[in-house]
């Protein structure tokens, strides 16, 4: 039986409706995904001992500061470390316990402000680091417990709304608490610095060593991440972790198995908040200041996107998801790098989808032919265009300049192509495998045209669009995330 026939049968089986087991129906398709060179690499990696799977990326991370002296790259590593600490804490609350906490970023901000209160000129307090950090962790954990207590009987959307309000309330208080009047004081005092935040925060200092460089914080965060990952792996199979995961799957069933859901929920809030508080204190120290604009809703969306992308409850998934969500936007800031990344991802996506070399070569040949044909059509219609020297840059310029038609009005034609591309992708998801294979070259050319004409010239918008498209495609093809546990669904 051919691969096409197997895929068609799996698609038919998964669309039969009520009583159809989608996971079983797609058995042959899942087996097919593990063939070929990529499948061999995946099997080799999974065959390695678990320790080596963690030691290899850790060794690469340790070598980065020695391989480059670029402060920008080290700074990205520090931002990734902070982001990863937050994802580790969010994974305990959302990925394990299943609590939709939309106020999680407030704990991050609370920890940052608490450290700034006791280690800056704001109140003239300069606690030693060994005393300030435990205090921040404990107080932030208690703060999470205080939030969880009134919402302990809430779940789902109700819990999300309550915690979202808490997060927004924290942001409003952080901005407006620059002139607080206490009853026992004659003059109002500045608590949070308002929109300007708190500056001149003390750097970390342990046993006479002061963290005075970005590289020192990079290694500090790397050590904290190792501790966090090891702790998460231990929690995953512990009694506490099993209770959280059972509650996350079905709180009612967990309660019938004698698991106390209220106590588990409060503990999840407290532990997740404590981890966020630790990350906040490191953030305040490495930035030498705290600013309320950092703790807005976009950061929360990025954290959830990383968790969903990697897979809820998966430790390797949260690491990979965090790396993608932090590194990808930075790469997209530079047109040359983003161009290479776009074409590499596009080619790999086609290879991983089709898997066999004959259809892969046929699709790429057809895409190339469509590009040259589109050039002829645009020229025949008399559309004004830019020459290669006017728009094409970088090592790909000679190829792209001869293949991609660049109209003078890039905004108009780019917007039209973007809308058509969205409709084409949506239409393809409802077609059979053979129809999708026939339409794929046109969609690929349209994607390249849209990228070069419109998206490449606006990196800030492109980053958001590509991250959103990545999540949508992943949810449509792999709802459990990259490393999440697949489930049997009866549709």
Q: What is the rounded distance in angstroms from the CA atom of residue 243 to the CA atom of residue 7?
A: 38
Same-domain status, 19 and 100: no
Query: Does some domain include residue 478?
Result: no
DSSP string, 206-226: ETTEE--SHHHHHHHHHHHHH
Torsion 46-49-54-55 (CA) sign: negative
Same-domain status, 233 and 256: yes
Per the CB < 8 A criterion, the answer to whether 160 and 102 are in contact is: yes
Torsion 33-38-44-46 (CA) sign: negative
Domain boundary among 306, 331, 356: 331
Supply angle C-alpha 157, 169, 460, rounded to 5.
80
Query: Does some domain include residue 402?
Result: yes
Mean pLDDT in each 10-residue stretch from start to end of the chain (491 residues)? 49 46 48 53 66 83 88 92 94 88 92 94 92 95 87 78 88 88 80 90 90 92 93 88 84 82 88 95 94 89 89 85 87 78 84 84 93 92 88 78 89 90 85 88 92 81 73 70 63 44
Please give the tally of structural domains in the chain.
3
**What range defines the domain where residue 37 resides?**
3-46
Supply the pLDDT for residue 275.
Answer: 95
From the list 446, 449, 450, 441, the residue with the least C-alpha distance to 365 is 441
DSSP string, 124-160: TEE--HHHHHHHHHHHHHHHHHHHHTTTTT--HHHHH
Same-domain status, 84 and 216: yes
pTM above 0.85, yes or no: no
First to last CA, the chain: 26
Q: What is the rounded distance in angstroms from the CA atom of residue 401 to the CA atom of residue 335?
A: 15
Same-domain status, 306 and 442: no
Same-domain status, 264 and 326: yes
Q: What is the rounded distance in angstroms from the CA atom of residue 151 to the CA atom of residue 109?
A: 20
Same-domain status, 447 and 349: yes
Supply the pLDDT for residue 17.
Answer: 45
Query: Does some domain include residue 16?
Result: yes
Nearest-10 crossing angle of helices 261-287, 239-249: 110
Same-domain status, 176 and 250: yes
Same-domain status, 231 and 354: no
């Amino acid at each position: 039986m051919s691969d096409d026939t197997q895929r068609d049968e799996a698609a038919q089986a998964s669309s039969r409706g009520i009583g159809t087991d989608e996971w079983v129906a797609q058995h042959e398709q899942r087996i097919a995904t593990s063939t070929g060179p990529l499948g061999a690499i995946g099997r080799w990696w999974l065959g390695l001992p678990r320790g080596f799977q963690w030691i290899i990326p850790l060794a690469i991370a340790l070598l980065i500061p020695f391989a480059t002296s670029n402060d920008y790259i080290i700074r990205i590593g520090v931002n990734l470390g902070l982001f990863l600490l937050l994802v580790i804490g969010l994974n305990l609350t959302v990925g394990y316990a299943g609590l939709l906490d939309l106020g999680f970023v407030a704990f991050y901000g609370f920890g940052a402000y608490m450290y700034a209160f006791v280690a800056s000129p704001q109140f003239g307090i300069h606690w030693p680091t060994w005393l300030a950090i435990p205090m921040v962790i404990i107080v932030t954990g208690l703060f999470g417990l205080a939030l969880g207590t009134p919402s302990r009987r809430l779940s789902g959307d109700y819990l999300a709304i309550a915690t979202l309000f808490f997060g927004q309330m924290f942001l409003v208080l952080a901005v407006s608490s620059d002139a607080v009047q206490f009853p026992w004081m004659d003059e109002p005092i500045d608590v949070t610095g308002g929109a300007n935040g708190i500056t001149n925060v003390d750097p970390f200092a342990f046993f006479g060593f002061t963290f005075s460089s970005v590289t020192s914080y990079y290694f500090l965060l790397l050590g904290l991440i190792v501790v966090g990952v090891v702790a998460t792996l231990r929690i995953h199979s512990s009694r506490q972790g099993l209770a959280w995961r059972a509650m996350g799957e079905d709180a009612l069933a967990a309660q019938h198995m004698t698991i106390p859901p209220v106590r588990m929920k409060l503990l999840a809030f407290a532990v997740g908040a404590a981890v966020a508080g630790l990350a906040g204190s490191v953030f305040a120290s490495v930035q030498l200041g705290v600013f309320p604009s950092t703790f807005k809703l976009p950061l929360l969306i990025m954290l959830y996107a990383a968790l969903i992308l990697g897979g809820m409850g998966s430790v390797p998934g949260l690491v990979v998801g965090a790396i993608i969500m932090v590194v990808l936007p930075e790469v997209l800031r530079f047109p040359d790098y983003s161009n290479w990344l776009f074409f590499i991802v596009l080619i790999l996506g086609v290879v991983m989808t089709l898997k066999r070399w004959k259809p892969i070569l046929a699709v790429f040949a057809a895409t190339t032919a469509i590009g040259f044909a589109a050039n002829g059509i645009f020229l025949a219609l008399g559309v004004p265009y830019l020459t290669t020297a006017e728009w094409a840059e970088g090592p790909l310029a000679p190829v792209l300049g001869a293949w991609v038609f660049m109209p003078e009005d890039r905004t108009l034609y780019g917007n039209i192509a973007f809308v058509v591309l969205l409709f084409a992708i949506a239409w393809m998801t409802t077609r059979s495998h053979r129809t999708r294979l026939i339409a794929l070259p046109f969609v690929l050319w349209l994607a390249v045209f849209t990228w070069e004409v419109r998206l490449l010239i606006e990196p800030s918008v492109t980053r958001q669009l590509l991250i959103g498209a990545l999540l949508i495609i992943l949810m449509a093809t792999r709802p459990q995330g990259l490393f999440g546990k697949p489930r049997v669904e009866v549709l």
